Structure 1
Amino acid sequence: MRYFFFGLMVMLLFTACPPTPEAPPQLDDDMFIDDPVNEERDRSIWQQPGAVMDAMGDIREKVIADIGAGKGFFAKRLALVADRVIAVEINDSLIVDLEQLREVELPKEFRPRLEPRLGTESDPKLEKSEVDIILLVNTLMYIENQEDYLKKLYPALRSDGRIVIVDWKKRDTIEGPQKSKRLALGTLEEQLKAAGFHLVSSDDLTLKYQYIVVADKVRE
C-alpha cells in the first residue's frame, strides 16, 4: 500500500508540472540569402532588357562590349543575337562566373560568341576599332575618372559605332544606390560631349529607375 501511494504522488507531481518548453529553432544563415531565381525575375521586370536592347539598334552581326557585365544579365541575352559579346569585368571571380554562365546557360552553338575579358578600373582593355556597340549598365557611376574612361572607349568603337549607357536616375527610387552616389543625366551628357561623342538621344521615361543615353562618334 505504501508503494501505491508513493507512485500516485509521483504521478500527480509530473502531471501538475508544466511541460518543458521546446528549444527555439536554430537559425541558419542560408535562410536570409536572397533567392537568385527570384532576384533575376524581379530585375527582368524593372530592368526591361528588351527596351535597352532596342536602344542599341540592330545588333545582328555586331560585336558588342558589355562593360561591367556582372554575372551576365545582358551578356547572355546579347550573345543569342549578336556576332560576339565581350563581357568586361575587373574581378577574377566574376570572370569565372561569366565563363560558367557561358558553359551552363548558353546553347552549345552560341558559346563561342561570349568572351569574358578581364579589364581594370581605368582600362576596359578593348582594342582600337574592335567593337560596334559599347553597353554600360549601372557601371559608369562607379568609375572614378568617368570622362577619361569615356575617352578610352571612343577609339574602341568603329566609325559607325555607338555607346549605350544605362544608369540610375538621380532621384529617390526603390531600386538602386543612394541618390548622392548617382550620376545625373545632365552631367553624363556633358561628359560624353567632352569625350568626343555625339549625343543621339536621352531617354528618362522608358525605364522606371534608370535613364538610357545613346551617343555615337562625331562624323568627320
Structure 2
Amino acid sequence: MLTGFRLKMLNREASSPKNKPLDVITHLKLKKGMVVGDIGSGGGYFAGEFSKIVGDTGLVYAIDVNQRSLDFIESNLEKEAIENVKGILARPDGIELPEGSVDLFFLRNVFHHLPEQAEYFRGIKKLLKSSGKIVIIDYKKKKFSFTGLFGHYTPENVLIDVMDSVGFYPFQKHDFLPDQLYIIFARKS
C-alpha cells in the first residue's frame, strides 16, 4: 500500500539529480498545448513538471491504478495552483481516454509491472494521435541489485519485441541513464 510518506519518497527519487530528471524531460520535446499521459504517476513529480511545459492550453493525465496516488497528486497540485492535470484511475488491463487524443505517453519504471504488455499497448495505441509517441524508461538488469534480484527490470530486446508486435519502432534511444533504458517509440508507417 502506498502511503503519503512512500509517495513523497517516490517524488524525491524522481527529482533526484542522480536520476537526471531535467535530461529526461528535455528529451521528450514537449510543447505548449500537448496532451501527455503519465502512466504510473506515483507521487506525481513528472506530471507536475509536464504541466508547466504544456501550459494552460495543454493537458496532463496523471494515470495510476492506485486512487491514493491520485489523491496525493491532486492535493499537491492544488497547493501549487496547477489546474491542467487530470487524475485517471486506470485498470490493470487498460486506460479509459478518448481515442486519438494523446500526443505522448510516458512510463517510468512501469513496463516490468505490466502483466499483459502487448495487450496493454494495443489499447494505448488507440488513444494516441497518429503522430503520437510512447516513452518508456525501465531498469536494466544488474547483477546483485534489487532490480536484478527481484525482476524489476526489462531486457531491451524484450521491450523492443513487445513494442514491435503492436506496431511501434524505437524512434530514439538515449543512454544518459546508466541503470535504465530510455526509448522513445513511434508508430511504424
TM bin, normalised by shorter chain, reads 0.7 to 0.9
Distance in 2, matches of 1:63 and 1:173, equals 39
1:72 shift after superposition: 0.4
**What secondary structure does 1:126 align onto?**
coil
Q: How do 1:83-102 and structure 2 match up within 5 A? A: 83-102=58-77
* 1:87-111 superposed Cα distances (whole Å, 9 cap, x missing partner): 001111111111111112x2x2xx2
- Opposite residue 67 of structure 1, the aligned amino acid is I
The answer for unaligned runs of 5 or more in structure 1 is 1-32
TM-score (norm 2): 0.86
Task: Give the number of the structure whose alpha-carbon radius of gyration is greater.
Answer: 1
Whether the 8 Å CA contact 2:13–2:19 is kept in 1: the answer is: no
**What secondary structure does 2:123 align onto?**
helix
1:53 shift after superposition: 1.4
- Aligned partner of 1:65 in structure 2 is 37
TM-score (norm 1): 0.75
**What secondary structure does 1:201 align onto?**
strand
1:199 shift after superposition: 2.0
1:174 shift after superposition: 5.7
The answer for unaligned runs of 5 or more in structure 2 is none
How many corresponding residue pairs?
A: 181
* Cα distance change of structure 1 residues 39 and 164 upon mapping to structure 2, 3 Å threshold: closer
Runs of 4 or more, structure 1, over 2 Å off, are: 36-39, 172-181
- Aligned partner of 1:156 in structure 2 is 127
* Cα distance change of structure 1 residues 39 and 87 upon mapping to structure 2, 3 Å threshold: closer
- Aligned partner of 1:30 in structure 2 is none
- Opposite residue 100 of structure 1, the aligned amino acid is S
- Aligned partner of 2:178 in structure 1 is 208
* Cα distance change of structure 1 residues 200 and 97 upon mapping to structure 2, 3 Å threshold: same
Give the alignment partner of residue 189 of structure 1, picking from 160, 165, 168. 160
Whether the 8 Å CA contact 1:84–1:115 is kept in 2: the answer is: yes
**Percentage of pairs with the same residue:** 21
Q: RMSD of the alignment, in Å?
A: 2.3
- Opposite residue 216 of structure 1, the aligned amino acid is A
* Cα distance change of structure 1 residues 175 and 128 upon mapping to structure 2, 3 Å threshold: same
